[in-house]
Amino acid sequence: MLTFMLAFSSCEKYLDQNPLPLSVIPSESLYQSDKLVASVVNGIFVSTTISTTFIGPSFSDMVMVSGMYTDEIRNLIPGNNFDVFYKNSIRADNSPFWNDFYGKIYMVNAALEGVQSNAEKLQFKEQWLGECYFLRAFFYYHLVNFYGAIPLALTSDYTVNNRLSRSSEEQVFKQIITDLKLAKELLGEEYKDGSGNSSTLRVRPNKAAAAALLARTYLYAGQWENAENEATAVIQNANYALESLNKVFLTGSKETLWSLANGESKTNAYFKAFNNGMPVVLARNQTPGTFTIFGVMTESLYQAFESADERKNSWIRTVKAEASTTRPETIYHLPNKYSSPVNDAELTVPLRLAEQYLIRAEARARSNKNTSWDDLNVVRQRAGLGALQNGDIMAAIAQERRVELFTESGHRFFDLKRTKQIDTVMQRVAAEKQSKWESYMALWPIPNVDLFQNPNLSPNPGYGQ
């Protein structure tokens, strides 16, 4: 509780209003006024920002574990807790995210019910409902991509939720789309704080953020025209613009559609995960582990960048370890998207404008529209690369997504699965890792405790019970 309260109190400047810790179950009386509802909704936002899912370099951080699971990040310390992901040997007892996201979904459902029951008393009910629908969609988006067919809990009645069977992936995506349509309708163009006031900080979702996540979801669901339309609405919004590479992830960036508040005044989590003040030349007695750096970019990811790609200079940091009696001179490449040691200079960005260009490029390409090259080239030219006009457009988009969205929000893992390339890629990668890959590993195991408690829930194939 002390840890929660310290984090919450330091996050007020981002979210306004005191948040309610998730360890406190809100009663019906907590939905009688906007100020009280704000404490509930803020608690969900803050719990997301301080969750181990997003705070790297924890052993259940999404960027770290999905990057190691695929071909983005190499584990530097064999035998540590990252090894089960790096060697694709994850088990039900070390499967992350399931409990974290379902716990948040429970609180979102309770908040939706509380706000709807007291709507006549609330001035900002549209904001609270819109934010909750957005958050529920955001959580389910990750769950379905990691676990496949999953239970759809849409109420706070745990006696019902604990007996839910799986809904198909198609049904889950349909629910995500429904929630995001509601969020888009309820939320305004402006960003708001926890008091319903306009804010310059983009740490709570607005209409454009809902449209951006909706565009992504439509792409995953194979609804190309809808994906194109939602992405277009975001791209044409004058409030957003592509930034220069060194400004993309800064607080206040016009490319940000939605960011996560740090949870407390500190340097960004991914600065700590991949930089943490490590010098560009390591002395003989130093390793990346000296600076609590556990993973570096794989060589295949580094080589995926074209030689003229300015992202290599702006978003990748090269460190040289001097030769010693136990090692030769070694070169490491590390993600450097979050590069500032200054507190609150950078916020983690789950949704940004460049992805919308790539979503629209793919949606148009799958609809056989030549204009897909135009969107692809917007992103390429920002990186200092020449325009492309012909060739395999789908291969070009996959390549651009790899080098633009690397080590962000699990994109690489999800992209490999939805484009059905994961077996081909991971068979090769597993050989490099000296591990093995089988098709069932594209889905992660459901924790045993949930399988034991819910007789209607079956394990994912390949994992048993």
How sure is the predictor about 166, in pLDDT bands with cuts at 50, 70 and 90? Answer: very high
> Does residue 263 carry a pLDDT above 70?
no
Structural domain boundaries enclosing 293? 269-335
At 161, is the pLDDT very low, low, confident or very high (cuts 50, 70, 90)?
very high
Residue 350: predicted pLDDT: 97
The reply to whether 316 and 445 lie within a common domain is: no
Q: Which amino acid is at 18?
A: N
Domain count, the chain: 2
* Single-letter amino acid code for the residue at 31: Y
Quick check: 365 pLDDT over 50? yes
Question: Among the three residues 284, 306, 335, which one is the final residue of a domain in this structure?
Answer: 335
Same domain, 273 and 380: no
* 324, 391: one domain: no
At residue 1 the predicted structure's pLDDT band, cuts being 50, 70 and 90, is very low
Do 290 and 251 belong together in one domain? no
Is 330 a member of any domain? Answer: yes
- Residue 113 CB-half CA count within 13 A: 14
Q: Which CATH number characterizes residue 192's domain?
A: 1.25.40.390
The residue behind tokens 């404490």 is: 39
Question: Are residues 274 and 167 part of one domain?
Answer: no
Q: Is residue 239 part of a domain?
A: yes
Question: Could you say which DSSP state residue 408 is in?
Answer: S
* Positive/negative CA dihedral, 418, 348, 68, 379: positive
Longest dimension (CA), the chain: 73
> Domain boundary at 335, 357, 377, which?
335
- How wide is the angle at C-alpha 424 spanned by C-alphas 419 and 429, nearest 5°? 115
Q: Say whether both 173 and 247 belong to one domain.
A: yes
Q: Which of 335, 365, 382 is the last residue of a domain?
A: 335
CA pair distance 344, 305, nearest whole angstrom: 29
DSSP per-residue letters across 238-270 = TT--PPPGGGTTBTT-TTEEEEE--SSSS--HH
Residues 209 and 281 in one domain: no
What angle, 0 to 180 degrees and rounded to 10, lies between the N-to-C axes of helices 372-382 and 393-404? 30
Per-residue model confidence as pLDDT tens digits over 210-243: 999 999 999 999 999 999 999 999 999 999 999 9
Are residues 20 and 51 located together in one domain of the fold?
Answer: yes
**Domain co-membership, 147 together with 190:** yes
- Please indicate, yes or no, if residue 76 is contained in any of the structural domains: yes
Same domain as 170, residue 115 = yes
Q: Nearest-5° angle of CA 49, CA 256, CA 259?
A: 5
Q: Is residue 464 part of a domain?
A: no
Q: Is the pLDDT of residue 4 over 50?
A: no
pLDDT tens sequence across 290-336: 999 999 999 999 999 999 999 999 999 999 999 988 889 999 999 99
pTM attached to this predicted model: 0.94
Q: Which residue has the higher pLDDT, 67 or 464?
A: 67
